Structure 1
Amino acid sequence: MSTDLEIVKNTNLKAKPEKDQLPFGRTFTDHMFVMDYETGKGWYEPRIIPYEPITLDPAAMIFHYGQTVFEGLKAYRANDGILLFRPDKNLERLNLSSERLSIPPIDEERVMGYLKELIHLEQDWVPSTPGTSLYVRPYIIATEPNLSVAPSNTYKLMIILSPVGSYFSGGLTPVKISVEDKFTRAVKGGTGMAKTAGNYSSAYQAQAKAYKDGNADVLWLDGVEKRYIEEVGSMNIFFKINGEVVTPELNGSILHGITRMSVIELLKKWGIPVTERKVSIDELHQLSEKGQLEEAFGTGTAAVISPVGELNWAGEKMIINNHEIGELSQKLYDTITGIQTGKLEDSQNWTVTIK
Structure 2
Amino acid sequence: MATLQVSEDIRDFENSPFGEKFCPWMVQSRFERGRWQPFEVLAASDIILSPAAKGLHYGSEIFEGLRAFRSSKGPVLYRPGMHARRMAHSARIVGMEPLPEQQFIESLRALVLRCESLLPVFPGSLYLRPFMMGTTSRLGAGIADDLLFLALATPFGMKLDPARPKTAGAWVSRDFVRAVPGGMGSAKVAGNYASALRAMLQAKAEGFENVLFLDALERRWIEELGGMNFFCVEDEVLRTPPLSETILAGVTRDSLLALAKVLGMRAEERPLAISDLLEGIQSGRVSEILACGTGSAVVALTRIGDTGITHQVADGNPGPFTVRLSEMLFDVQFGKAAALAPDWLISC
Letter in 2 for 1:212: A
- Whether 1:42 and 2:35 are equivalent positions in the alignment is yes
Paired position in structure 1 for 2:3: none
Give the whole-Å Cα distance in 2 for the aligned partners of 1:261 and 1:31.
30
Paired position in structure 2 for 1:292: 285
Paired position in structure 2 for 1:26: 20
Paired position in structure 2 for 1:210: 203
Aligned length: 341
- Whether 1:237 and 2:227 are equivalent positions in the alignment is no
TM-score using structure 2 length: 0.93
Paired position in structure 2 for 1:80: 73
Paired position in structure 2 for 1:274: 267
Paired position in structure 2 for 1:309: 302
Q: Contact 1:176–1:215 (CA<8 Å) still a contact in 2?
A: yes
Task: Show CA shifts across 1:209-263 (max 9, x none).
Answer: 2122221111101111111100011210101100111111112100000110111
Task: Show CA shifts across 1:104-140 (max 9, x none).
Answer: 0111012211211111111011112x43211001110
Paired position in structure 2 for 1:70: 63
TM-score using structure 1 length: 0.91
Task: Show CA shifts across 1:77-119 (max 9, x none).
Answer: 2232112111111001000111111110111012211211111
Stretches of 4+ aligned residues off by more than 6 angstroms: 166-171
Change in Cα spacing, 1:63 to 1:168, as seen in structure 2 (3 Å) is farther
Paired position in structure 2 for 1:151: 143
Give the whole-Å Cα distance in 1 for the aligned partners of 2:159 and 2:140.
38
- Deviation of residue 208 (structure 1)? 1.4
Paired position in structure 2 for 1:340: 333
SS in structure 2 at match of 1:93: helix
Letter in 1 for 2:271: K
Paired position in structure 2 for 1:101: 94
Q: Contact 1:76–1:84 (CA<8 Å) still a contact in 2?
A: yes
- Deviation of residue 41 (structure 1)? 3.1
SS in structure 1 at match of 2:75: strand
RMSD of the alignment, in Å?
2.0
Paired position in structure 1 for 2:247: 254
Q: Aligned ranges for residues 132-211 of structure 1 at < 5 Å?
A: 132-165=124-157, 172-211=165-204
* Pick aligned residue for 2:11 from 10, 17, 26: 17
Q: Contact 2:166–2:298 (CA<8 Å) still a contact in 1?
A: no
Change in Cα spacing, 1:292 to 1:304, as seen in structure 2 (3 Å) is same
SS in structure 2 at match of 1:321: coil
Deviates more, 1:162-171 or 1:182-191: 162-171
SS in structure 2 at match of 1:323: coil
Deviates more, 1:329-338 or 1:158-167: 158-167
Q: Percent identity?
A: 29
SS in structure 1 at match of 2:202: helix
Change in Cα spacing, 1:219 to 1:225, as seen in structure 2 (3 Å) is same
SS in structure 2 at match of 1:322: coil
Give the whole-Å Cα distance in 2 for the aligned partners of 1:344 and 1:18.
31
Give the whole-Å Cα distance in 2 for the aligned partners of 1:124 and 1:307.
32
Give the whole-Å Cα distance in 1 for the aligned partners of 2:21 and 2:173.
31
Q: Contact 2:231–2:238 (CA<8 Å) still a contact in 1?
A: yes
What runs of 5+ residues in structure 1 fail to find an aligned partner?
1-11
